Amino acid sequence: MGRHARRCDELLPLSPWRGAAAAALGWAWLALPPLPAVGAGQAAQPPTLHSTEEIGRHLAALQARCGEGEACLRAGLADSLPASLLQPLPPPDSDRIRWASSLPSLGQVIQLDAATRLIALDRFGRRVLQELPAALPGQGALVLDLRANQGGDLARMLKVAGWFTGGIKGAMRRAAAGQVELLDVPAPAGQPFRGRLTVLIGPATASSAEALAALLRRHAGAAILGAPSAGKTYLQTIWPLGQAWQVLVPTAAISLPEAGWTGGLRPDGPLPPDWAALMRPRESP
Amino acid sequence: MSSLARSSLVALALSASLGTAVGAETGIDVQHALFVPNRASASIAVIDIRTDQVVATLPVGNVPHQVAVSDITNQMVATNTADDTITIVDLASGASRTMPLAHEPEHMELGPDGHTLAIGNIGAGAVSLVALPEGRELHRVTGLSQPHNLTFSPDGKRLYVANLGANHVSVVDVAAGRVVDEIQVAPPVEVASRQPADGEYQGIINVTRTPDGRLGFAAHGEGNRLAVLDLRTGVVKKTLELGELPWRAYSTADGRYMLVPNNGDATLSIIATADQSVVATLPSAEDITGVNTGWFETTAFALSRAEKKAMVYDLTSLSAAGEIALPGTPETGVTTPDGTKLYVALSDTDQVAVIDVRTRQLVKTIDQVGDEPWGVTLEGAMNYCH
């Protein structure tokens, strides 16, 4: 895609609140068309997608031959997959296994002003479906900060999206091995948030976090602010190799049915400086 | 008995010897003894369930995680997770010995012969097979992925290893001491992320056997599903979609139901074993670490670590039946074999709670059990660990 080419998602109509909010707040840029920004991941070519059956056979044979020997595993992978896909597994953590401790999904939660709450959704962790609904405001405006969110479980992300969009049939597209599957956003367990929504993205925003931003732009009328996102448009299948290693194999492409985010999702505008002053610095990619 | 072994009895508080099979020197009656590993005080408290009094405290290694008891050899074994060892105690004499194993031994399962003990070394990806009478490690089975709970076949010839870090159950030939099969419980997990390795991957916690040993129920957390395994053929007979992040299946004593807490969405799935179907999905609570049943299998309790309570379920009507507030953080529980009393370790108050299963009420707490009681084990009961 050329630098100034337009993608389908850029051509979606601006949500009604954006024009009104821009006028009310004097943010003229909010009502402008999206900036022709370049995604952070545009230079990177999408990886080759592999068939899970084929890779499964290959990795099973590799593990039988190498056990957990790193050099042998890397050498064995080299002729079929980039060695960077081999990653060490974190050691088991007794408290995390038993849920005595969990990584929080939410980072900063603050009131930007009397009517606007900011929630930094940093992960799609295993408690996200408890943490997020508890933090949502009943009314007013919400800024959902995805700038540190590097993605995670796709199904859990779709459940998160439901808290803003309600249930949607065929909201996402997954393509693997020549087959296309449409994925639904499930209806949430409670009342979805229906106030004004702004989503913040940046170069670290990746994969299912980019998908969430795109879904909220498409189905919840969200304005997207910040900097272009990472542009990770594929799913990886985790293949555990014994106790110490795992291989993350690209196996499927993801997008919205209408458009994807190859080259990175482009924001509608930059982060307002007065908001930035209130927020903690976000993680860099 | 060596002086070293004698010294391990220093902390032993003796009770009067009652009944049969009472330790000649320790006074511990294995038929009525509840064993409580205290994680922070490197000891095992022994409670007589007839009096609900602590009758002995046995010193073991650091961070004891689980206890196994054999009434065949009259021995108790504790995994000392921080020391990479197990402690084997002769319950008659109190003599103890320490055996080095691999990294982080945690969960154990005693074979049906009462002699063979399987121990999962979760940090090493290995399972040790130990002969209790000789006190010898017979085999160390490697190449596993965070081996969590272990399940013997009824004849003791096979061991099913739940791999927490993977999607398959490993089948071990016990005599040969090697993996002979892998049963794929779920397809590999897909992620849409740059950083998938966050240490919260939840593969398979346990294979829960029906009492007849024909079927095994293996929940796969990341896949939100449960596989029904035909343990005779080693194939997946059926797959059930459950709630979010199912923990593991717990069997009723009669084998009629499997109860599965889904910790991701705080629900409890009830599965009828006869046709392996989900017959109820009930509201539960956060961070369920164990499920116990009793009183003619009419009642179930799900222990919520996060909310410090026991959810109560009526298994006759398959409905929620209230909750019991607990004074501390529950870890695991065990029901007496007659189904009348439920003991629950409370880690932050150093207590064991006693629940009357019939009336569904907390009736007492046993105090000063030790520092951070982590579980409860009763010979002949349906023990589990978390």
For position B196, what pLDDT does the model report? 65
For position A20, what pLDDT does the model report? 44
Confidence category of residue B344, pLDDT binned at 50, 70, 90:
very high
For position B181, what pLDDT does the model report? 94
pTM confidence score: 0.84
For residue A125, the chain B residues in CB contact (below 8 A) are 198, 200
Domains, chain B, ordered by start: 288-386 (2.120.10.30)
What's the mean pLDDT in B153-174? 95
Question: At which residue do the structure tokens 């001491």 appear?
Answer: B177
Amino acid residing at B77: V
Which residues, 6 or more positions from A54, have their beta carbon under 8 angstroms from its beta carbon? Answer: none
% of chain B surpassing 70 pLDDT: 93
d(CA B266, CA B285): 5
What's the mean pLDDT in A142-169? 96
Interface test with B, best of A93, A98, A128, A251 (most B CBs within 10 A): A98
| Longest distance between any two alpha carbons in chain A, whole Å | 66
pLDDT at position B221 over 80 = yes
Greater pLDDT, A11 or B166: B166
Comparing CA positions, the residue from B247, B350, B194 lying closest to residue A248 is B194
Mean pLDDT of chain B: 92
pLDDT at position A37 over 60 = no
C-alpha triplet B96, B102, B106: angle, nearest 5° = 70
Interface test with A, best of B191, B265, B267, B303 (most A CBs within 10 A): B191
Which among A94, A243, A285 has CB closest to B144? Answer: A243
3-state class percentages of chain B: helix first, strand second, coil last, to nearest 5: 0, 50, 45
Domains, chain A, ordered by start: 106-276 (3.90.226.10)
Polymer length of chain A: 285
Nearest residue of B to residue A65, measured between CA atoms: B143
pLDDT at position A27 over 70 = no
For position A40, what pLDDT does the model report? 45
For position A177, what pLDDT does the model report? 80
B189 touches chain A (CB under 8 A): yes
Question: Which residues are registered as beta bridge partners of B293?
Answer: B300
Comparing CA positions, the residue from A159, A223, A262 lying closest to residue A12 is A223
For position A274, what pLDDT does the model report? 77
pLDDT at position B18 over 50 = no
User: Helical H runs in chain B?
Assistant: 3-7
What's the mean pLDDT in B70-88? 97
Predicted complex ipTM:
0.80
What's the mean pLDDT in B158-185? 95
Greater pLDDT, A91 or B238: B238
**Lowest-confidence segment of A108-122, A125-139, A257-271, B183-197 by average pLDDT:** B183-197
What's the mean pLDDT in B127-132? 98
**Lowest-confidence segment of A277-281, B3-7, B44-48 by average pLDDT:** B3-7
B177 touches B222 (CB < 8 A): no
pLDDT at position A8 over 60 = no
pLDDT at position A187 over 60 = yes
DSSP 8-state assignment for residue A267:
P
A117 touches A111 (CB < 8 A): yes
Confidence category of residue A277, pLDDT binned at 50, 70, 90:
low
Confidence category of residue A279, pLDDT binned at 50, 70, 90:
low
> What is the spatial order of strands in the sheet that B267-272 belongs to?
B250-251, B257-262, B267-272, B277-283
Mean pLDDT of chain A: 81
Confidence category of residue A33, pLDDT binned at 50, 70, 90:
very low
Chain A nearest C-alpha distance from B335 (Å): 21
Which among A98, A152, A207 has CB closest to B289? Answer: A98
Task: Dig out the tokens for B41 from the structure.
Answer: 């005080």
pLDDT at position A170 over 70 = yes
Greater pLDDT, B22 or B38: B38
pLDDT at position B157 over 60 = yes
For residue B263, the chain A residues in CB contact (below 8 A) are 99, 126
